Structure 1
């Protein structure tokens, strides 16, 4: 498609992946044996962070799996050796592997030994001797780190906590005076702060670089090793999201230099990236902070001498992430999100063209840690509609699959093919999505339908494997999912349309999907189901309050009465920016709380599920809707998972969620 650069010069989003071909056989392994079963959720392995050695002969990456005996998820580090064609587990219970510049070591994070076992420490794995060494011994957790260019030092982000209470003592009361005082996964917020520290590897000497009331994150070394860029926000940090990039000169008493001055989230969620000559930094430009997550994340470059920024993806109108320079500085690689796709792209300074590097039917997952550019070779984490994430390698010509963590398991399973779909709403908007049909599908039959809705709200369903869809299809359901208005991947206007107007056009799009499904002729209009988690659970509530055709719904971690979220969840800044205060804008708050105040219209049997300690979308949201439907004698049930946050950390609970989905749909759709 034709787009325009910041100087209004036309340039083109070209496609180069046609020259790529996949080696080592087909990525999707179509099996001929068994349908997916509920217990299979514990067999899927998840590929996480990845790093490539300098000579591109080794890739270190993480694999998360289920330890059923202890009912927990474990993350291990594996290493791919291309020369020896070997994939081997090297460190158990560890994460965030990063090669030293000479590739002799892999630094990583893992719990320490002895009295440091409650804290994440920095460790080294020797790639020659396969020995491990704990590098830090501090009663604080290391949360992030980066090697210096010469490999002699490492900058770390360390979480400095208030003094812990002795075990056995009566717990002290919470004393709260912060504006935002809760956060999911952290419960009540204390005065913990993340600061930068420097460790000299030879002497293991630790030096604190920053302090104070702010958090300093995403450190990044200059090529000469004399400066460190990092991201922080200052002032009353609970009341704003104005993140900026600062540069700290080492061996100097000068104060850090504020590099960016845009009133918004600069480089939030992504590490600033120095150009090879050290004259520029690539980063994410966050857009208007008043628009929250509805703003487009753009790729920008700032000149360190003039401190002027230029946005190089201005006219793409798509979210970007994970920028990284090519080795010669002639281009920048980044991830682009576009209509169910997530691809690696490359911006060339020579001709100002943007080329996609990975094929559109492979979904690229991850952030700055999830791929690396070394000597023109790139390590990737890719999935497609029929296979979970695996490690791939591309050198400009060949796309090669290198890991096969899920291959043996999938080879024994029947994978229902996922199709892409599109339909047009009554007001003329084209909506895109996906459909999974049961195995041995017969178009002459009528099937029950389950519509699944994503969270966010500004996110998207991508073209990648989803176990729950396969499980539903294996149990005889047609599964449909789509990206309604308000989703990402379709540009600013598409995702902003639901700003301060939740459950309106996006709920209409869900009903339009049901219309489309029925029009195909093989969906039973009397057996329509839907469900989702987070905003997907909220949207479920909005839909059933407007459309009584659905015979079963599952609402996970949702809220319907937004007034109950004010002060009870962690979105106080976002509420004020999007809706204003409840006392000044009562009508807007009530309109967006429609499912609760229109609960008398709901006829759909609905299952509510939530984590007990969810401070993202708290328990009260599900409790109130359950109570309303119970009072109205609508079939309903509330499932509360002990000690769980918004995302569950206990495998048996995640399995239980799917079991209850199946039981609920079986009860009301069959």
Structure 2
């Protein structure tokens, strides 16, 4: 009898830790006038006309649980009451470089949020494995949104840029909860990235990926969708955006993954523009494409 009780307690103890994945720990309203981007989007302490839409949105700093760790992130909600589809935004960069900030969400997702979407994103756990265990920090957000009153947890999309594109591909491999996704200048082949930008291998891959030099081939393949495109959720869909003048991610990667997806008859589109990694000359078009895609593929 005691053995049964001990086994039952142990089972419940183990499961209780993982049952908390995605649990919302904190949600704090952020005054954007106190953020670093305020001077760029305002004049005389008033929003510039092109940023008037921000008055319709609330920005929050959040923390949530992921694999028994406290992970920080950000959230954007329309102020108007309602139930809205969710877009998980996956940041680029690594570790402290290019972290998700209010400025990132304003420039890349605020126009989308204004159209009636909840935007949520993670800064990933402190130990960044560049596509390793921290993918769970993305996947667990599908649980976090169940605690967001205005969010519709049955209608989730994803939007990833650069390294965030790699995270988006990984999410589509490991989850069937993402109805549609957008990847902008995303990494799809880390072997190619190592050749295209050798410093990425020495300064990022080798420093972030556990035991990198002893397991290079297997670890890079795990993170490169070009090797397992057939494992992507068949019920989802993809919009791939590519800047042909990108100096950070080889634009040829977009063509190669598109060729692979075409062979599979995957539901996707590739759109290419003569611009850089950040779509500097096409910000308006970028917003329009993102809104159009999610309106068609995610909104009921």
> If the TM-score is normalised by the length of the shorter chain, which range does it land in?
0.7 to 0.9
Mapping 1:543-554, distance limit 5 Å: 543-554=171-182
Shift of 1:412: 5.2
Q: Equivalent residue for 2:101?
A: 462
Cα gap change, 1:416 to 1:576, in 2 (>3 Å): closer
Coordinate RMSD, CA, aligned: 3.0
2:81 paired residue among 431, 441, 462? 441
Q: 1:360 to 1:404 in 2, by over 3 A?
A: closer
What does residue 258 of structure 2 align with? 626
Structure showing greater Rg: 1
1:480 equivalent to 2:110? Answer no
Aligned to 2:65: 424
Distance 2:117 2:174 in 1: 24
Quote how far apart the aligned CAs of 1:668 are.
1.1
Q: Using structure 2 for the length normalisation, give the TM-score.
A: 0.75
Residue 666 (1) aligns with residue 298 (2): no
Task: Output aligned runs, 1:4-43, within 5 Å.
Answer: none
* Further displaced range: 506-515 or 576-585: 576-585
Q: Which residue of 2 aligns with 1:587?
A: 218
Q: 1:583/1:421 Cα in 2 relative to 1: closer, same or farther (>3 Å)? A: closer
Query: Which deviations, in whole Å up to 9, do the C-alpha atoms of 1:531-559 show, x marking residues without a partner?
Result: 12111122111211111210111111111
Q: Label 1:411 to 1:452 Cα distance change in 2 as closer, same or farther (>3 A).
A: closer
Change (3 A) 1:608 1:362: same
Task: Tell me the SS of whatever aligns to 1:567.
Answer: helix
Asked if structure 2 preserves the Cα contact closer than 8 Å seen for 1:564 and 1:620, the reply is no
Matched residue SS, 1:417:
strand
Alpha-carbon distance, 1:519 to partner: 3.6
User: Deviation digits for residues 131-186 of structure 1, max 9, x if unmatched?
Assistant: xxxxxxxxxxxxxxxxxxxxxxxxxxxxxxxxxxxxxxxxxxxxxxxxxxxxxxxx
> Do the aligned partners of 1:607 and 1:636 also contact (CA within 8 Å) in 2?
yes
SS of the equivalent of 2:265 reads: coil
CA displacement at 1:527 relative to structure 2: 1.4
Cα separation, 2, equivalents of 1:633 and 1:660: 22
| Greater length-normalized contact order (CA 8 Å, ≥ 6 residues apart) | 2
Counting matched residue pairs gives 260
Task: State the match for 1:138 in structure 2.
Answer: none
Tell me which moved more, 473-482 or 566-575: 566-575
Q: Structure 1, residues 537-585: CA drift from partner, whole Å, max 9, x if none?
A: 2211121111121011111111122122232345354377447998983
State the Cα distance separating 1:659 from its structure 2 match: 1.4
Tell me the secondary structure at the aligned position of residue 219 of structure 2: helix
User: In the alignment, what sits opposite 2:248?
Assistant: 616
Relative to structure 1, the CA distance from residue 624 to residue 586 in structure 2 (aligned partners, 3 Å threshold; closer, same or farther) is same
Residue correspondence of structure 1 range 256-267 to structure 2 within 5 A: none
Listed one character per residue, the Cα deviations across residues 321-373 of structure 1 (whole Å, up to 9, x for unaligned) are xxxxxxxxxxxxxxxxxxxxxxxxxxxxxxxxxxxxxx99833xxxxxxxxxx
- Note closer, same or farther for the CA distance 1:482–1:540 as it changes in structure 2 (3 Å cut): same
**Is contact 1:528–1:551 with CA below 8 Å preserved after alignment?**
yes
Structure 2 Cα separation of the partners of residues 405 and 631 of structure 1: 53
Aligned-partner SS, 2:270: strand
Q: Which blocks of at least 5 consecutive residues in structure 2 are unaligned?
A: 1-30
> Are 1:575 and 1:581, in contact at CA under 8 Å, matched by a contact in 2?
no
Q: Is the 8 A contact 1:553 1:607 kept in 2?
A: yes
Contact residue 439 and residue 474 of structure 1 kept, 8 A: no
Residue 135 of structure 2 corresponds to residue 507 of structure 1: yes
Q: Higher strand fraction: Structure 1 or Structure 2? A: 1
Which residue number corresponds to residue 284 of structure 2?
655
CA distance in 2, matches of 1:431, 1:552: 24
1:636 aligns with 2:275: no
The C-alpha deviation readout for 1:208-253, integer Å capped at 9, x for no partner, is xxxxxxxxxxxxxxxxxxxxxxxxxxxxxxxxxxxxxxxxxxxxxx
The one of 511, 519, 532 aligned to 2:160: 532
Q: Distance in 2 between matches of 1:537 and 1:560?
A: 8
- Indicate if the aligned counterparts of 2:230 and 2:264 stay in contact, CA closer than 8 A: yes
Residue pair 2:71, 2:122 contacting (<8 A) in 1 also: yes
Q: Give the drift of 1:388.
A: 5.2
Q: Which residue of 1 aligns with 2:56?
A: 415
Whether the 8 Å contact between 1:439 and 1:473 is mirrored in structure 2 is no
Q: Is the 8 A contact 1:362 1:463 kept in 2?
A: no
Change (3 A) 1:429 1:575: closer
C-alpha separation in 2, matches of 1:423 and 1:583: 33
More helix by share: 2
Query: C-alpha displacement at 1:466, in angstroms?
Result: 0.8
Q: Which whole-Å CA distance do the structure 2 matches of 1:448 and 1:663 have between them?
A: 14
CA distance in 1, matches of 2:75, 2:111: 13
How is 1:46-65 mapped onto 2 (pairs within 5 angstroms)? none
Q: Which residue of 1 aligns with 2:20?
A: none
Once the two structures are superposed, what CA deviation does each residue of 1:410-444 show, in whole Å capped at 9, x if it has no partner?
7954331112222112x2111222222224123xx
Gap change, CA 1:588 and 1:482, over 3 Å in 2: closer
Aligned structure 1 segments of 4 or more residues deviating by more than 6 angstroms: 579-584
Q: Relative to structure 2, which stretch is displaced further, 509-518 or 409-418?
A: 409-418
Per-residue CA deviations over 1:463-497 (Å, capped at 9, x if unaligned) read 44714432112111111122112xxxxxxxx1xx2
Which residue number corresponds to residue 389 of structure 1?
Answer: 40
